[in-house]
Amino acid sequence: MVGASYIPKKSFLHHLDARVKLAILFVILTLALTFSHPVYILVLLAVVILAWASAGLPFDFLKTLVKYFTGIAVLIFAIQVLFYPGETPLLKISAPIATIGFSGTISQEGVLFGAAMVLRLVVIMAAAPLLIMTTPLSELILALVKIRIPYRFAFILTTAMSLLPSLQNRAFLIQQAQLCRGVGDFENRNLLVKLKASASLLVPLILGSFRDSQVLDVAISSRAFGAPTPRTYLLETHLRTIDVALLIFSALALIAGITLRMLNLGIIR
Amino acid sequence: MDNQPVIEVNNLHHTYPNGVQALHGIDLRISSGEYIAVVGQNGSGKTTLAKHLNGLLKPSLGQIKINGIDISPMRISELSRIVGYVFQNPDDMLFCNSVEEEISFGLKLMGFEQSEKQERVEKSLKRMGLEQLRDQHPFTLSLGDRQRVAVACILAITPRIFVFDEPTTGQDYFGGQSIMETIEMLHADGCTILIITHDMRLVAEQAQRVIVMNGGRIAIDAPPGEAFKQLDLLEKLSLRAPQITRLSQLLGWQGEALLDVPGFCDWVEQSWRTQDEAKRW
């Protein structure tokens, strides 16, 4: 299972104001894109992993991410290594692939840059679920509204985020129902049958989602979604001292990161 | 009925990956041809128990034998020929363009010959009264009819044990009635039936044995007449006996619980008569 959804726990991260978590996420993502040296990005990754551990989130989830990502990561790494125009050669190859743009040299910079690209993506993928898994949807909507995102968009955003886990649950249930009548046990079948059998999952899944969204439409309409009067919220959030402190800290981290970058640090030279 | 149980559950424990312990040591023997209702609050472990019977869930601890054979090494596709599991929502199952295709699709994947497949489809259609609807698109049918198509798909595999997960939930009176008749029919054919339900009237009128689950354990395992006698215990488990049962007990009926209106009428009639006679004396 890959979809991230809220996991109720009592941790430091869970108690933080959602706006602060949004800010921290923003800083982490910006810094991940600012630096292109793997060591700097590794530091960011360490921060993210520490946060996972401190929030008591399941590392199984990260493992699954890594599992799905390995193939793409290898590809990205290989492309950077082969085509990065570096100056410190590690290996010279006079292979026929030289004709398709490969310079014939694998450089130290290329290897570092490839590693940085992969790490960068890992940081991004591991950081985003931190927010979703430690924040109830209602708080997340509120946080988005508080930073002046129109409620309608905040709602669309959070609904989309909660869609994946609910789709996964439904898919699991459908698979079980199909297994019970002999459909869905695809081993040793030819491709055509396999294709047809995949409809056994997709058709109920898609139709079910349509039905759900129709129900959601009626449900929110009957609760005056989009009414022209300004809405109020059941939940109210207040920034505590620790929230403010962390906001300032993440702002400083962002400034520090950008300064380093302007001093030509954290990149591959 | 022979004495060898068709289903034998020994010390079954189940813990979900998220750490929730859903079953705490279930022991259960079910004989061939029994009609069993499993009741209990949401989260009491009913569905978790039922899903173990055809391998949809694997025991964390304990063992399940069906027809005397340990099922842990068996695949769901093998088990589904012995234990038919009908899910609550037929829409999780239907995807073909016609009712007939829907029923034959699973059979095809299970590797039945064309002639045998056709025979099974025909039988199943007839059994569920779907012959008129065979060319209809399943999604144009009413919920009750879709539910019957879902049952027909399982029926075509001809398992001898059926598990129904809340078959009447969301159905109107006639829809529910028609499904109950189907289940009764399967039972009359000698199939072993296990239904999960919240409908106490249905339990009282149809089941031969009631299993009340509570917190992952079996709280009561008795015939309905005995189970519904224990009003205090039922109340503790947030369950209520059927109205007619409660009424008869309020009026002073003692002994095995009265389960249906005819039984209740007989009793009232009888007591009136004896009262009349007493007066006459």
ipTM of predicted assembly, 2 dp: 0.79
Span A64-74, pLDDT tens digits? 888 888 999 99
Among B95, B109, B157, the residue with its CB nearest the CB of A199 is B95
Query: Residue range B54-64: average pLDDT?
Result: 92
Ranges A9-23, A87-101, A171-185: which has the least confidence: A87-101
Q: For the CA atoms of A45, A46, A50, A51, what is the dihedral angle to 10 degrees?
A: -30
H/E element holding B217?
strand B217-222
A181-208 pLDDT, tens digit per residue, is 877 655 556 677 677 777 888 889 998 8
Residue A176: pLDDT band with limits 50, 70, 90 = confident
Count CB-CB contacts under 10 A for residue B167: 26
Q: Is residue A268 over pLDDT 70?
A: yes
A 10 A CB-CB count for B46 gives 25
CB contact (8 A) between residue A181 and residue B77:
no
Residues written for chain A: 269
Torsion of Cα atoms, A176 then A182 then A184 then A186, to 10°: 140
- Give me the mean pLDDT over the B154-180 stretch: 87
What pLDDT, on the 0 to 100 scale, is given for residue A186? 52
pLDDT value at position B2?
A: 52
The pLDDT value recorded for residue B280 is: 54
pLDDT category at B1 given cuts 50, 70, 90 is very low
Whether residue B178 is predicted with pLDDT greater than 70 in this model: the reply is: yes
User: With contact defined as beta carbons under 8 Å apart, do B68 and B123 qualify?
Assistant: no
Identify the bridge partners of residue B194 per DSSP, sorted by sequence position: B36, B163
Cα dihedral B49, B52, B56, B57, rounded to 10, equals: 80
Is the Cβ of A183 closer than 8 Å to some Cβ of chain B? Answer: yes
The stretch B16-30 carries a mean pLDDT of 89
What is the gyration radius of the CA atoms in chain A, in angstroms?
A: 23
Could you say which residues from 134 to 173 on chain A have a Cβ atom under 8 Å away from some Cβ of chain B?
170, 173
Interface of A with B in 42-71 (CB under 8 A): none
Query: What span, in angstroms and rounded, lies between the C-alpha atoms of A100 and A117?
Result: 22
Separation of alpha carbons B52 and B66, rounded Å: 11
Spell out which chain B residues touch chain A, with contact meaning CB-CB distance below 8 angstroms.
Answer: 51, 54, 56, 75-77, 80-81, 84-87, 89, 91-95, 105-110, 139, 153-154, 157
pLDDT, position A3 = 59
How far off is chain A from B73, nearest CA to CA, in Å?
A: 16
Task: For residue A177, give the nearest of B87, B107, B108 by CB distance.
Answer: B87
A211 in contact with chain B, both atoms CB, cutoff 8 A: yes
Q: Could you give the residue ranges of the DSSP H alpha helices within A35-58? A: 38-55
Residues in chain B with CB shorter than 8 Å from the CB of A179 are 56, 76-77, 80
Q: Where are the domains of chain A?
A: 1-135+238-269, 137-237
Residues B235/B250, Cβ–Cβ less than 8 Å: no
CA atoms within 13 A on the CB side of B80: 26
The DSSP bridge partners found for residue A119 are: none
**pLDDT (0 to 100) of residue A101:** 62
- With CB atoms and an 8 Å threshold, state whether A180 touches B75: no
pLDDT at A2: 47
Please state which of the ranges A32-41, B18-27, B105-114, B155-164 shows the lowest mean pLDDT.
Answer: B105-114
Measuring CA to CA, which residue among A183, A181, A177 is closest to residue A197? A183
Token pair of B225 as six digits: 């007449």
pTM over 0.95, yes/no: no
Task: Out of A2-6, A21-25, B216-220, pick the least confident.
Answer: A2-6
Inter-chain touch A176–B106, beta carbons under 8 Å: no
A41 close to A265: Cβ distance less than 8 angstroms: no
> What pLDDT, on the 0 to 100 scale, is given for residue B276?
65
- Our CA dihedral for B225, B228, B232, B235, rounded to 10 degrees, sits at 170
In tens, the pLDDT along A136-166 reads 888 888 888 888 888 888 888 888 877 878 8
Q: What percent of chain B has pLDDT over 90?
A: 46
